[in-house]
Every structure is written in structure tokens, then in C-alpha cells.
Amino acid sequence: MPSGRARVLVSWSSGKDSAWALHVLRQRPEFEIVGLITTLNETSDRVAMHGVRRCLVEAQASAAGLPLWIVPLPFPCSNVAYEERMRAAIGQACKQGVTHIAFGDLYLEDVRAYRTRLMAGTGVEPLFPLWCSPRETPRLARNMLRAGLRAVLTCVDPRQLSESFAGRLYDRRLLEQLPATVDPCGERGEFHTFCYKGPMFDGELPVQVGRTVCRQGFCFVDVTLLKAPLRAGSRGDRAPEHRSDPERQSATSRRTSRAN
């Protein structure tokens, strides 16, 4: 490792923003990406808020050529429990030479302040490589798509966006159809995504989605890995239907852990 090069973990939600943060940081020679760190609901074994299965996150890490650091969270999970487990994980990371954790946050000042407070005194500093103003997110979304990033909406907040968007592909058509009140990157929690293709991966992850299931005020779609390439399904912009959609517990709702 070159002298003075920062060792970075990327906070990994499985979504487009954390994936894009990885891509952006890899373009900066002063950083060495040493892994992805993600929180998983211990009960459902899925990513909090996104509701994505562990096997999918593991497939992303493999496609990115990076180790996956998993932080298990109880369900339900209080802020106290969350902070205790995150601080323990950050402490272990520091012992292994990690100097920074990068987040895919865009412009929510309260979230940034929370992360900064959580990491204060740990010896590991936060990074926000995508930080921008709300006015810049339409351009950011277009840049992601132009670079080949592809994702599917795995969770929708029906209070902000119609549940019909759950399971949709994150593409130009979706951006055109989003209500004016919805951020194109879903930064205010309007939706969450699973990224299955992009310049941060060595190939496309073949996925499909199943039925929409509404739990605890959110609409989730189950995403599974396939053996065949992803193709547009017969239902508009949705990925092909997955016939077996097992019952599952919804992810823990925590605004400060989101990263689309």
C-alpha cells in the first residue's frame, strides 16, 4: 500500500448510491477501498430498509471484488443497539487499519451530522463522496444511468410515491414519470434500490423480482438471483415476475441507515 493512502470501507446498502460512491472513490488514487460494510436484520437476514437478501449483497461484493463486512442488527432494533453494534464494528475496522468509512448520502444535513457524531473519537473518519445540493440530484441520476448503472426499486414509501413503482427498473423512463415532489435519487426515503449492474462490478447480476408485499407502512419487492440475464418483463418496466415470493419480515426502519 502506498504511503499515506487512506484505507476505506464503503457503507453498503445494496442500492445505487452506495454503489456509485464505490465507483467514484475508485477513481481517486488517494483512497484504497478495502471492503463493503453492511447491516443485516438478524431475524430476516436482509438489509435494513431495502429488504434485500444476504445472498444478493454477497453477490454484489463478489462482483465488486471486495470483502463484505456484516454488522448483524436485532429486530426490532433500537437506536441504542444500533449505535453499540456500529461502534463495535468501527472499532474492529480501526484495528485493521481502516481510516475512513464512505457513505452514499447526498444532501441531508441531519443524517451527515448523525454519522459524524457516531464516528467521533473512533479513529475512523466519515467520507461523503457524492455530497451535493438537492438541485444536483437530477444530473447525478442521469450520470449514473449514462455510465451503465442499473437498479431495481426494492422498497417504496407509499406516503411519498405510489406502490406501483415498487419493482420498477431505475431508468430514464422512471425518472420521467416520478412526481415532482420525489427526489430523482430517492434521498428523502421515497424509494430504495438494489443495484445489479454498473462500472463498479465486473459483470451484471442476473435478477428478477416478485410480488409487492406491504409491511409496516412500506412496500417491498423480493429480489432473487437468476441464471439467465435480466430482461424487461411484460409488465411495463418491471423485471420478470418471480413465482415464489415467500413470506418475510420487513426491514427495520431507520432513516440514518439508509443509502439508496
Residue 12 maps to which CATH number?
Answer: 3.40.50.620
Angle (CA) 22 88 4, round 5°: 50
Q: How far apart are the first and last CA of the chain?
A: 31
pLDDT tens readout for residues 81-107: 999 999 999 999 999 999 999 999 999
One domain for residues 53 and 155: no
One domain for residues 181 and 74: no
pLDDT for 251 equals 30
pLDDT of 228 strictly over 50: no
* Whole-number Å distance between alpha carbons of 64 and 166: 26
Residue 35 in domain: yes
Closest C-alpha among 9, 260, 14 to residue 125:
9
Q: Which domain holds residue 60?
A: 6-127
* Residue that is written with C-alpha cell 449514473 in the block: 144
* Whole-number Å distance between alpha carbons of 207 and 54: 14
Pairing of strands 100-102, 6-11: parallel
- Give me the phi and psi of 97, to 5 degrees please: 90, 5
One domain for residues 156 and 90: no
Out of 98, 127, 156, pick the residue that ends a domain: 127
At residue 61, the 3 state secondary structure works out as helix
Residue 37 in domain: yes
Give yes or no for a contact between 48 and 58, defined as CB atoms under 8 angstroms apart: no
Would you state the torsion angle of the CA atoms of residues 200, 206, 212, 216, taken in this order, to the nearest 10 degrees?
-40
pLDDT tens readout for residues 92-151: 999 999 999 999 999 999 999 999 999 999 999 999 999 999 999 999 999 999 999 999
* Whole-number Å distance between alpha carbons of 246 and 219: 15
One domain for residues 253 and 154: yes
Angle (CA) 140 145 149, round 5°: 110
How many structural domains is the chain composed of? 2
Neighbours of 159 (CB within 10 A): 9
